Structure 1
Amino acid sequence: MAIPRLRFKEFDGDWEQSSLAKLTNYFKGYAFKSESYKQSGVRIIRVSDLGRARIKYDNDAIYLDESEKSNYEKWLIKKDDIVITTVGSKPHLVDSAVGRPIYLKNDNEGLLNQNLLVLRPIEQKINAYFIYSQLQDQRYLTHIESIQRGNANQSNITVKELQEFKLFNTLEEEQTKIAYFLSSVDDKIAQLTQEYELLSEYKKGMMQQLFSQNLRFKADDGSDFEDWKETTFSQSFNFHMTNSCSREKLSEQGEVMNIHYGDIHTKFSTLFDASKEIVPFLKDKADCLKIKEDQFLQVGDLVIADASEDYKDIGKSIEIVNMENNKVVAGLHTYIARPSQPHALGFCGYMMQTNKVRKQIQILATGISVLGISKTNLGKLIIELPSLDEQAKIANFLSAIDQKIDNVAAQIDQAQVWKKGLLQQMFV
């Protein structure tokens, strides 16, 4: 028995506690064969199709022929279903996390694939969203962390252990009111998330148009800018040494910031501002004393990650746009590429994210399980550079979009923190 700390005033009395197994039924996904996949028909929902809070809609979807739908009706997912991943990464890695719940607000989403399961309330008086909300609480994440097996990249959970999670239960009327309130909070977060996704897609489209030169800026006097000039990376940049310090040699405090290649893959913005990013420091003063003057990063430098297990990350880079009087160096598995001729601040950071440059890097990368890109191969990259004035206009335009994206991301973070606090108080 328990009483929540935050409650609608018209309700009182104790809540009951029960297991997920006693409140819901479940079914597992079906292992559809790849040879059955079609370009259209009834969609097959995979782990990779689950977004942060809903099923993603993109061009990567797979389908089963509509004529076969009746053979697999047992695996059709419905409105108010709760879909949970049974295989994925560790719970703190949100996008592909094992045990992550998704609530379905619509019918006809598709057929459930393997490594997923569906939870449905055992009776009508149990509100599905009330259950789903408890699967977003920290208590649930702690439970998943305790039962997951495997490593950081590939973990799994069993249905039996999942069903042992303890939920709270109360009168149907109170469940409904809580569910309605929390779904409104989730709708607001979903609206912000959609705005974030739309801005990100807009930026991607504008980058494609700008760097393919299908869309050109005009000079301030209204005249056309000169043609872009083709060159190689080695003609525009010089490489400088980095240190070989791994994560074990870094700490949260120190005198010299150290950019780790893994943070370039996952954390840092394209335009790196030392006043905004959380950067670890070199732990050992002896390592700091070994640094040569040209190893300290300068505004305008590119820091390039030379190793990755994934083609999408190999050669990923950031451009240093603000140091704020900090001493910053680049560490293990990185290159420093310093411009050998004037560039508009920010332009090269965006240029390195374009499809044309990324595809070249992926072709030039070597290795099997771990990919690498050498300085020699980076130097072969074919790049096109407009005039300095046009570079500046492109960089300013894209950074303005990035600022809008960052603002929306901050609103999402604030809303999620507020919701987390609500969940902790509304569910005891």
Structure 2
Amino acid sequence: MASPKLRFKEFDGNWLAATLENLAEVERGKFSVRPRNDPRYFGGEMPFVQTGDVTGSDVYLKGYSQTLNTDGIRVSKVFPADTILITIAANIGDTTITKYPVACPDSVVAIQPKREKANTIFLKNIIDLQKDNLDSQATQNAQKNINLQVLKPLELIVPSKEEQTKIASFLSAVDEKINLLTQKHELLSQYKQGMMQKLFSQQIRFKAEDGSEFGEWKQSLLGQNCHITTGKLDANAMNANGKYRFYTCAKNYFYIDNFAFDTEALLISGNGAHVGYIHYYKGKFNAYQRTYVLDGWEHNIQYVKYYLDKYLKIRINSEKKEGNTPYIVLSTLNEMPFQIPTFEEQTKIANFLSAIDQKIEVVAQQIAQAKQWKKGLLQQMFV
């Protein structure tokens, strides 16, 4: 039928079409208990892998948030190691491979390659290339989903088992490089968090340029050190061709036709999935009505941002009532305890943490570039 642009020289001949069910056993997970969170079925030793666990993994399953006991296993379905898991609801088409037996609910499908026909890593990668195709076939009810009637007849173009294995070995080496970069990123992030803890608890102190000790930190409230207000606009104000930035409760920003602020400020998402996320911006902008704008600082604003990065989420969670979605009211910010070293020490702390952030960003870019390079390889190595 066809052959890829990029190929190992010892192989030739066309790749052939095969359905997913011809290459693997395709079974839906199961968890028949209602309500789903009935505690009688949880707390054992069997990993219970759900859509979020799959989405949060890489090539191999990173972990799981729940386990099933013996009763839970009876009402679920267990799949062996070396099974490809694919999400069929919410984030459709995310995949990972198991290294140990797991149980799954019906929002996850287990794909067990037939050993004589398919290599697991090869099959995972070729399925990943079908993510957009699968998403386009999803039905929209309460949430998007697909079913076995979509997955089983999914047509894939594949080579011999020997060529699959060769490709899989090469891609595993690429994935290992990405994994090493990811580990480096995680270690740098952990190092930053550890240093923030030591710096803000004053276990570690900088010295002045002349070698002298800095003075005691002052204790204050956040609202006594800045002006706190909120934006006035709703999402309808967004304009793709607008001139000024418009900050919302999400991590990103949009554009708008007019501005309300012309200042150096920290902008804090007041509710939603990214509650407590902190933006820094200097210039003309506007803000969503549940985004807090903190300006008028006499402190090093980067120091303030790092301080809030460390303690704001803790304060938000301490105010959260059981069952409530976290959100910020004005008193959350106004009455938040705030520690103030001298401006010179603030600057040293901010510069130190900023240097770590720069290293983290370099590694993040290396990861993104490696993933993009792999994506380009896949497009050339697969039909």
TM-score, with structure 2 as normaliser: 0.86
From 96, 100, 105, the counterpart of 1:102: 96
> How far did residue 389 of structure 1 move?
2.0
Structure 2 match to 1:77? 80
Q: Distance in 1 between matches of 2:324 and 2:41?
A: 30
Structure 1 match to 2:187? 198
Kindly tell me: are residues 210 and 327 of structure 1, through their superposed partners in 2, closer, same or farther at Cα, counting changes over 3 Å? same
From 50, 53, 62, the counterpart of 1:56: 62
How many residue pairs were aligned? 376
Kindly tell me: are residues 426 and 234 of structure 1, through their superposed partners in 2, closer, same or farther at Cα, counting changes over 3 Å? same
Kindly tell me: are residues 12 and 23 of structure 1, through their superposed partners in 2, closer, same or farther at Cα, counting changes over 3 Å? same
> How far did residue 166 of structure 1 move?
1.5
Q: Distance in 2 between matches of 1:167 and 1:347?
A: 53
From 270, 275, 281, the counterpart of 2:255: 281
Query: What code does the residue aligned with 1:346 have?
Result: Q
User: Match of 1:56, SS?
Assistant: coil
Query: What code does the residue aligned with 2:111 have?
Result: L
Kindly tell me: are residues 34 and 160 of structure 1, through their superposed partners in 2, closer, same or farther at Cα, counting changes over 3 Å? farther
Point out where structure 1 has 5 or more consecutive residues left out of the alignment: 89-96, 268-278
What is the correspondence of 1:16-415 to structure 2 with a 5 Å cutoff? 16-31=16-31, 34-38=39-43, 41-50=45-54, 51-53=56-58, 54-57=60-63, 61-64=65-68, 75-78=78-81, 80-88=82-90, 97-104=91-98, 106=99, 108=100, 110-137=102-129, 140-150=130-140, 154-240=143-229, 242-244=231-233, 246=235, 249-251=238-240, 253-263=241-251, 267=252, 280-282=254-256, 284=257, 288=258, 291=259, 295-298=261-264, 301-308=265-272, 310=273, 313-320=274-281, 323=282, 327-340=284-297, 342-354=298-310, 356-364=311-319, 372-415=327-370
Kindly tell me: are residues 332 and 135 of structure 1, through their superposed partners in 2, closer, same or farther at Cα, counting changes over 3 Å? farther
Q: Check whether the contact 1:18–1:169 (CA below 8 A) recurs between aligned residues.
A: yes
TM-score, with structure 1 as normaliser: 0.78
Kindly tell me: are residues 400 and 166 of structure 1, through their superposed partners in 2, closer, same or farther at Cα, counting changes over 3 Å? same
Q: Distance in 2 between matches of 1:216 and 1:36?
A: 50
> How far did residue 377 of structure 1 move?
4.1
> How far did residue 372 of structure 1 move?
4.5
Q: Distance in 2 between matches of 1:103 and 1:168?
A: 21
> How far did residue 82 of structure 1 move?
0.8
User: Match of 2:208, SS?
Assistant: coil
User: Match of 1:11, SS?
Assistant: coil
% identical equivalent positions? 33
Query: What code does the residue aligned with 1:194 have?
Result: Q
Q: Check whether the contact 1:143–1:165 (CA below 8 A) recurs between aligned residues.
A: no
Kindly tell me: are residues 344 and 44 of structure 1, through their superposed partners in 2, closer, same or farther at Cα, counting changes over 3 Å? same
Point out where structure 2 has 5 or more consecutive residues left out of the alignment: none
Query: What code does the residue aligned with 2:134 have?
Result: I
Q: Check whether the contact 1:126–1:172 (CA below 8 A) recurs between aligned residues.
A: yes
Kindly tell me: are residues 68 and 335 of structure 1, through their superposed partners in 2, closer, same or farther at Cα, counting changes over 3 Å? closer
Q: Check whether the contact 1:250–1:258 (CA below 8 A) recurs between aligned residues.
A: no
Q: Check whether the contact 2:29–2:77 (CA below 8 A) recurs between aligned residues.
A: no
